Structure 1
Amino acid sequence: MTSVDLNADMGESFGPWVMGQDAELLEVITSANIACGFHAGDPDVMAQTMATAVARGTGIGAHPGFPDLQGFGRRKMQLSQDSLRNLVAYQFGAARAMAHAAGGEVRHLKLHGALANMCSADEAMARAAYEGALSVDPEIIVMVLAATAQQRAVEALGCRWAGEIFADRAYNDDATLVDRSQPGAVIHDAELAARRMVAMVQAGAIITESGKQIPAAVDTICLHGDGKTALEIARHVRRALEAAGVTLETFPGRRGTV
């Protein structure tokens, strides 16, 4: 029986500015990546999101990003490896504290936005970021963009990890995501997204825009929370996977190479 986790980025509201549809998404997903206050979120939002995730039994993840509230963490920044380690450790520590206060625990970590995209192409950068988290908790499960430099970094570190694919993003032939500035990079058609995810889960591979299949560890699927069609896509993907006989559950984490 094939199983897969469904994750979404959330807790990204800030003060009175609401981002995403967290409450509704928490009815669909099995793991929540909660912003740590640097690219989005604030202490009140973190506390509320953590408490809701704990109440629903949803797996909790820390979602650190660049210190870029205005750009929502989607602008590239150049940091030394030491600063990058500290950046991730700081945000991860905050997430652990807030989860503990809510009666839960952080079981995984997923990088956000430009930080994630840069690490998907730069193994040394990815390794530094993950070392920051592992210095806080050596048993944390690192969620990685499957078949990229992020995966090579966790394999080299020997830590626990889970491979991620995206329901609403198009792929290049090197397994990286098509840049958001390019036409078709973001998928808004819920039926299309659902068909793609069933096909990738069944194939155990990323299917790129050119039709190329890249064997991948498909442990979890990202369902974004922002955007007009995000919730519709999430619901369609879940229904399609269940109809295909796929079990939905939190990932256990793996070690070593695929």
Structure 2
Amino acid sequence: MKIDLNSDMGEGFGRWSIADDDGLMDVISSANIACGFHAGDYAIMDRTVLAAKARQVGIGAHPGLPDLMGFGRRPMAVSDTEMEAMLACQIGALQGIAARHGHRVTHVSYHAAFGTMANADEGRALRLARVIAALDRELTVFCMPGQLSERAAQTAGLRVLTLFLADRAYTAEGALVPRGQPGAVIHDLASVRARVRRFLEDGVVETIDGGRLPVKARSILVHSDTPGSLALAQAVRAEIAAVGAELTPAHLLAD
């Protein structure tokens, strides 16, 4: 079995950072790089692309809303047309930096409220998918199983890679438990390892209410801004190795 391990990267700004990106880059196989709207800037993007290339890590755009103060986690009153332009701007910026260094953007993973808004309306999800397709029809869209973004990407002729979120709790319906609610973010290493092992071996995750939820995914996500994210990612990678799976960048996974 081949599986991808990805993390959101480059989510600092200027002289500030929020995670050990260098450490994480040694553990993951795909990086979702912030493109300057919810976090990141041109210098951080440049360094992150170089670090990924040096380690043969696949890179993708991690577009968010233009909200540095809220880290892109607050919905905004913007039109679909504005969201399309935001998306094109962020992917295009990363494509330019990647091309400069001889690397290539291979996927797109929506960040926080941008993703929530994209998945709230079928027409909007399709418009955004068509923006991605217009920029590069070979880009893969990362999303959770069953989201509107998954169906929209498929309609637009794009490849989809579904995610299992190792450090976030799930509801019985398969949605994420909202941040701020007790147990929404999982910090305990033993709990993360147990969840990942169960996902890898049985294809299920225990929900917040103790239920059993099937999860069909080919990539595991660890959020870099989760406290202790490096240790969490290392624990996930150890579980991948323990079951004999092969860590593989998303763009090299066969359909």
TM-score under structure 2 normalisation? 0.93
SS at match of 1:70: coil
- Please, which runs of 5 or more residues in structure 2 have no aligned partner? none
- Higher alpha-carbon deviation: 170-179 or 205-214: 205-214
What is aligned with 2:178? 179
Aligned-pair RMSD on alpha carbons?
A: 1.7
- Cα deviation code 1:147-191 (max 9, x no counterpart): 222222223333111001111000112221110010000000011
Tell me, in whole angstroms, the C-alpha distance in 2 between the residues paired with 1:129 and 1:77: 16
Shift of 1:254: 7.0
Shift of 1:119: 3.0
* 8 Å contact from structure 1 (residues 141, 253) kept in 2: no
- Cα deviation code 1:82-131 (max 9, x no counterpart): 22111101110001001111220000010001112333443333222222
* 8 Å contact from structure 2 (residues 129, 149) kept in 1: no
- Match status 1:84 vs 2:87: no
- Higher alpha-carbon deviation: 153-162 or 66-75: 153-162
What is aligned with 2:116? 117
- Higher alpha-carbon deviation: 80-89 or 52-61: 80-89
What is aligned with 1:232? 231
- Cα deviation code 1:174-223 (max 9, x no counterpart): 22111001000000001111110121122234542234444443111111
Correspondences of 1:140-179 after superposition (within 5 Å):
140-179=139-178
- Higher alpha-carbon deviation: 106-115 or 143-152: 143-152
* 8 Å contact from structure 2 (residues 29, 248) kept in 1: yes
What is aligned with 1:94? 93
- Cα deviation code 1:230-257 (max 9, x no counterpart): 11111111112211222211124677xx
> Counterpart of 1:44 in structure 2: which amino acid?
A
Distance of aligned partners of 1:78 and 1:125 in 2 relative to their CA distance in 1, 3 Å threshold: farther
Tell me, in whole angstroms, the C-alpha distance in 2 between the residues paired with 1:4 and 1:20: 23
- Higher alpha-carbon deviation: 146-155 or 7-16: 146-155
> Counterpart of 1:28 in structure 2: which amino acid?
V
Tell me, in whole angstroms, the C-alpha distance in 2 between the residues paired with 1:196 and 1:25: 20
Correspondences of 1:31-70 after superposition (within 5 Å):
31-70=30-69
TM-score under structure 1 normalisation? 0.92
- Please, which runs of 5 or more residues in structure 1 have no aligned partner? none
> Counterpart of 2:47 in structure 1: which amino acid?
Q
Shift of 1:58: 0.2
Distance of aligned partners of 1:123 and 1:207 in 2 relative to their CA distance in 1, 3 Å threshold: farther
Tell me, in whole angstroms, the C-alpha distance in 2 between the residues paired with 1:149 and 1:203: 25
SS at match of 1:169: coil
> Counterpart of 1:246 in structure 2: which amino acid?
A
* Matched length: 254
What is aligned with 1:25? 24
Distance of aligned partners of 1:202 and 1:118 in 2 relative to their CA distance in 1, 3 Å threshold: farther
Tell me, in whole angstroms, the C-alpha distance in 1 between the residues paired with 2:124 and 2:204: 25
Correspondences of 1:234-249 after superposition (within 5 Å):
234-249=233-248
Tell me, in whole angstroms, the C-alpha distance in 2 between the residues paired with 1:129 and 1:231: 32
SS at match of 2:153: helix
